[in-house]
Every structure is written in structure tokens, then in C-alpha cells.
Amino acid sequence: MIVVSDTSPITNLAAIGYLDLLRELYGTIVIPQAVYQEMTRGGISIPGALEVQTLNWIETQQVTNQSLVSLLQIQSKLDPGESEAIALAVELQADWLLIDEELGRTASKDYGLRLAGVLGILIEAKTQGLIAQVKPILDDLIVKAEFWVSQSLYLRVLQVAEEKA
């Protein structure tokens, strides 16, 4: 399985101590050079920065289709990490692209990519028995990682996870 990730799923899961869910669900995660640079340019103060430098199941790969990266940045107004993550997922014919930002998710759909964000990852982890409940982890995401979730989305995630608010 080929899984490409943008910055957000890695940093948010690392911030709450659940980064290993990515390995358990997908095995190897591939990140583009721009995501690696976004995460490591501030030293190890960004959650997940040390992990992308040291864990052997997170691989960094250079995007070859720079024209697609530029197109995504100009047309969809995406940052370099999102643009490279989408372009790399297209190049590798990835099974999954892990991305949370709405603009990036919208642009990704034009390329027929299968998407998952942090919330979908949590639901899948519960489905596979890797976590017992989504709610406490979702609450940690909101409080500790400052991951923004609307009230309606919060309730919908718990409904899909068959949990009470």
C-alpha cells in the first residue's frame, strides 16, 4: 500500500501521542520534501519533527512533476507541502493521501485520490480495534493540538464511531 501524507496528520497525531496509528494502519508513510522541510525547519519543536527525521517507516521522497506542484500552488492557492503531497500521491498512484486542509482536499478530488484526514484515521483505527474509543482522542486533538473541529463535525464523527457525545 502506498500512502502519502501532508503535514497535518503527522503533526496532530504526534502532538497527542498517537503518531504510531499511521504505521499500524498503513505501514510506511511517504512524505514529500516540502512536508519534511515544513516540519523540520523549526528544529524539533514541531510535533513529529524528530519522528520524520528518525523513524524508518516515514520516508521522504522528492516530487518530479514540479509543473503540477506549481499549478496546484497557483490555481488552488495551496502551500508547498499540500501541493507536493498531492503531486507525489498522483505520481506514485498512492492508495491514500492523508490531508486535512479543505483547500487541499478539494484540489485532490480533481485527481481521483482517496483521502483520509485525522478524523477518518481515528475512525478507521477504532474499526480495526487499534483504539477503544475515538472521543477521548478527539478531545485531546482539540485541546492539546488545537485541531479545529466544528460542533456538527464533532457530533458526526462520534455518530460514525458509534459513541455518545
What's the pLDDT tens digit per position in 107-144?
999 899 999 999 999 999 999 999 999 999 999 999 99
Grid coordinates representing 28? Answer: 510506511
Q: What does pTM read for this prediction?
A: 0.95
- For residue 156, which amino acid is it? R
- Give residue limits of the domains in the chain: 3-118
Consecutive H or E run containing 121: helix 118-127
DSSP 143: H
State the pLDDT at residue 4.
98
Write out the chain's pLDDT in tens, 165 residues. 999 999 999 999 999 999 999 999 999 999 999 999 999 987 778 999 999 999 999 999 999 999 999 999 999 999 999 999 999 999 999 999 999 999 999 999 989 999 999 999 999 999 999 999 999 999 999 999 999 999 999 999 999 999 998
How many angstroms separate the CA atoms of 107 and 88, rounded?
Answer: 14
**CATH no., domain 3-118:** 3.40.50.1010
The residues pairing with 77 across neighbouring beta strands, listed in sequence order, are none
State the pLDDT at residue 42.
76
DSSP 95: S
